Structures are given as structure tokens and as C-alpha cells.
Chain A
């Protein structure tokens, strides 16, 4: 798909500093509706830090983030979520003791106007609202092929389904931008292929812009329109996959030996990335 949609997320010269450590510097990104952009880089390159800066987990030390034209620096994550940025986490963070259905229903609250009083009095408005949420949540579960797991407690789901449930939950917030932090971590190659196909499908179905961190170079190159490569917090390459793949800086920093390593060791990504 060509990058002709409207700009939904913009980062300009974003920097993140923790004490004396610069985890991210001069991070520039423009995401348009319908795009799927891959974010890659070796361990500790600042990929997750970039996610955290975009979604408000930390306010950026410098620079500016705009969602649909609105500056979001210093907003709390839930406010940024309401503007349309949803995310998943590198280490799955589901509401573990709740059912798959409830996980998604929690994210469906956006646009909900009924308050405590109508919940306590069981007003018709409350009924209608709850019914709408039930329907929507059911749909998102079905989209992520989890319909049969509706009443299963999240922690009992197999790992791959937990990852998909996290995406269903993020979708339920009604995002314009979906940030996926290693959605395929811990999956085998064929599962990853299926997952990325699913991700492309939801991008088209919900007209999203998707930013995805993925370790598997071959896969990320295969599905992304654009790829950004981070190393030590610096963007060393940015462009179409085939260009990035040939970029000598990328080869040196990320691939080291000059040959494309197709399968880096599983779980090599560190928590501080």
C-alpha cells in the first residue's frame, strides 16, 4: 500500500535521556494511515524506549510528538490512548486473572458515557452501553481468531494466543496507530508468518497505521513498507526494505558480519531495549 493516507503520528527530534544516558536521540518518524513500518535494531538500540516516548510512558526529554496534529508531550498514557495510539508490550501484559472477553471489554470503554449512577440503577442506557461493548468485544476477539476462547482466563491461554489477545485488546481502544512491540516473540517461523498476515489484514480492515518492532529481519523486511533501523538510540537508516538491507551502516551495526542473518537467537532482545 502506498503511503498516501493522512499523517496520524509524528515524532520530531525526540530524545530520551535517563540521567547521563541517552537512550534515544533525534528520533524522527511520520506514520500515515495504511502504513506498516518496521522498527529494528540490535539489543538496547532504543526501540522500546521509542515506543514508550510515543505512548507517553515517559515524557520525551526533547522534541515533540504529535498525534493527529495534536501535541501530546507530557500527556498521560491514557490520554494519548484516547487520541488513538494503542500498543502491546514486549513482555505480554494482559489482565491475567480476567477472561479474554473482559480483557477486551476493558479496552472498549472509549466513548462510553454512562456513569456510576446508571450502572447502580441499571438504567436502559447502561444496558444499551453494556450490550454495545459486549458486541464490540466479541467482534475484536473474532478478528484475532480468539472467539472460541472468550471465557477463558487470560493467563491460561497458550502464549501465541496471549499475544493475539493483546492485539485484540489494543484494537478495542479504537486506535489510529497501533504500536506492536515484538508481536511474534517466542513464535516459530510459520506462526510468525501467519501473525504478520493477520496484522496486515487488520491494518486494512481498520485503516490503521502500524509500527512494529520485530526481531526477525526477513519477516519485517517482507511485510513493511518502510523500515527504520536504530542503533544506540540513533536512527542509522530509514527507507524501503531493499534499500535498508543494502545500507553498509546497517550491515555493520546490526548484522556485523556483512551477511544477512536470517534468524537471530530467540529471546535475544533485552528488557532495557
Chain B
């Protein structure tokens, strides 16, 4: 009984989200569905980047590269296994399984990329780290652009349209659960300590370099998930989708929402995605209005929409204890 309760608590967010997402999927016409997926992808990107930039206080601006690694890996898996019937399953289930494996492969590949970038660069701080992540991000993109197997600049098209609102929504839930539970654990507190004072953290027994690399790897893995989800909606993957501009967009979401606030990242990512969609109607002014909006927001709320606060801080304590498993 107790065991069942514990298992239930650990997967509760997914169980609650699934029927809601099913309904949303059924209710949304294709053009709404594509916007919802775009929002979900950006939320996953912003929340995962927040683990590095907000929780750990490092400044990474190469997030799009990890997204690219995840996207290409997932695309290779799905295109390679498209006609396979796995384990004699019916076609729908087999496709779902293939897509699930593809997303996992994308996350794994992105986390390996995160590890390779993280180990040499996370001894650096602040501006230096930013420059190195930017450099690595561009290197990864240029390598893809020049790799024949990945379709060079034209990319890979004709990907199966696996991503729907349910998949994207579950990705969001997974990312938010990851970030929230991390924040409430010893591991997450080690990251916060690094953000607050690296010298003191080290003196209190926190392996600062090790934890920074771990944060970076986790963050990269979820960027990879976002990549895999996105390209199986638009059925196309090209290197141009993962430029420095995309990385900056995610940084803006994190800063705008409030560094370290999961709620902030979710709200800012949703807001910016919707605003950018809206502004497609007035295309020549799009970036002007967007920039103005950012300037006004940063002037009026310099520490972001939410600072480091969370929406669930407003919940009564007993409810929070139930949701978070006993902390704080």
C-alpha cells in the first residue's frame, strides 16, 4: 500500500497531465496545435537552460546547439526505423515506441555533447564561459552543416509527424518535474550554492566543477528533447533552425521570466512564443515591437517577471508538502 502510494506520488504529474493533454489534443485544430507545440518546445528550452543559467548561475549561450544534436539524432532514428514494426506491435504503438526511443536517443546524444563542451569550459566563469559556449554552439552547427549524412545545409526533410500536443505536453511535464524536484534536493541546493558563492560552496564541500558539469549535461539533454519534439512537428530539420539567434531567444526567455524561477521560464516562454506568432501579421515591425517589449519589461522588472519566486510558493504549506514530497 505504502509502496503504491510512493510510486503514485512519483508519477502523479504525468498521470494528471495525460488526460488533460488528450483532451487538448482532440480539441485543437492543426494551426492551434502547431502553436501549442512551439510553446511547449520553448518552455522545455527555457526551463532546461534555467538549470544552468538560473540555478547554477553560469552563463551559457549555446543552448540551440544541444537542441540541434537532439533533433538530428532523433530524426536519424525515426527515419531509420520508420518502416520497422517493433515487437510485432500494431502500427500506432510501434510508431510511438520508435518516437520515444528516438527522443531518448536525442537526449542521450545531447547530453554527451553537453559533457564534451562542459568539461573543458566549466572551469571558466561569467563572460569567458559565455564566449566559449557560444563558440562551441557555432562549431556544432557548422559541423552539422558540413556533414553529408546529415543533409548539409538543406537538412533532412520528410520526417514522420509524430509530435502532437500530448507528446509535447508530456515533454514539458517531464522538464518541469525534473527542474522542480532537482531544486528541492541536495543536488539542487549544491547548484544554488554555486550560484550564490562559488568559493564558499567549494569550502563547504561542494565539488563546484563537478556539479556545474552535471547541471550542464542535464540541461543539454532536455534541450535535445526539445529539438526532437520540434522537428517531428514541422517534419524538417535544418542547421538554420539552431543558430545563435535561437540560443539568444532562449536566454531572453530565462532572463525575462526571472533567473532561477521555473514559473518565470514557463510564463516568459509562453508569452514570447505567442507574441512572436501574433506579430507575424506585421512582419516588418516584428523584431522592433519584440525588442521594445523586452526593453520595457526589463526596465520595469529588472530581475524578471518572477525574480526567483515560484507560483507554487503561494500555495498553502500543507498542499505544497503533498506536491513536493515533504520539503521545504
Binding site for B on A (CB under 8 A): 55, 57, 76-79, 81-82, 86-87, 89, 93-99, 101-102, 105-110, 112, 114-116, 119-124, 126-127, 129-131, 133-134, 169-170, 172-173
Contacts and interface: CB of A to CB of B under 8 A. Distances in A.
B201 A97 contact: no
A77 B327 CA distance: 29
Interface centre among A89, A95, A98, A172 (most CB of B within 10 A): A95
Interface stretch (B69-77, B176-184, B233-241): B176-184
A97 B308 contact: yes
Nearest to A116: B187
A130 B328 CA distance: 9
Q: Chain B interface residue count: which class?
A: 35 or more
Closest 4 CB pairs of A and B: A119-B185, A95-B196, A81-B205, A93-B200
B228 interface: no
B202 A77 contact: yes
The majority secondary structure among interface residues of chain B is helix
Interface string B172-212: 00000110011011111110110011011111111110000
Nearest to A133: B186
B301 interface: no
Contacts of B181: 119-120, 122
A102 B186 CA distance: 10
Given A93-B197, A102-B192, A130-B327, 10 more contacts: A78-B203, A81-B205, A82-B205, A86-B203, A95-B201, A96-B196, A106-B189, A119-B182, A119-B185, A131-B326
A76 B9 CA distance: 39
A266 B197 CA distance: 26
B295 interface: no
B200 A89 contact: yes
B192 A78 contact: no
Contact of B202 (A76, A101, A131): A76
Interface in B38-87: none
B173 to A, nearest CB: 12
Contacts of A133: 186
Contacts of B184: 119, 130
Contact of A122 (B6, B188, B328): B6
Contacts of B327: 130, 134
B135 interface: no
A41 B186 CA distance: 39
B177 A110 contact: no
B146 interface: no
Given A112-B186, A130-B186, A81 B203 contact: yes
B10 interface: yes
Contacts of B205: 78, 81-82, 107, 109-110, 173
9 contacts: A76-B207, A78-B204, A95-B197, A98-B193, A98-B196, A106-B193, A116-B187, A119-B187, A122-B10
Contacts of A169: 204
Contacts of A79: 207
Interface string B307-325: 0100000000000000001
B204 A170 contact: yes
B185 to A, nearest CB: 4
A225 B189 CA distance: 38
Given A95-B197, A129-B186, A109 B192 contact: no
A128 to B, nearest CB: 10
Nearest to B204: A107
Contacts of B201: 95, 106
A127 B192 contact: no
A126 B185 contact: yes
B9 A122 contact: yes
Contact of A106 (B177, B199, B206, B207): B206
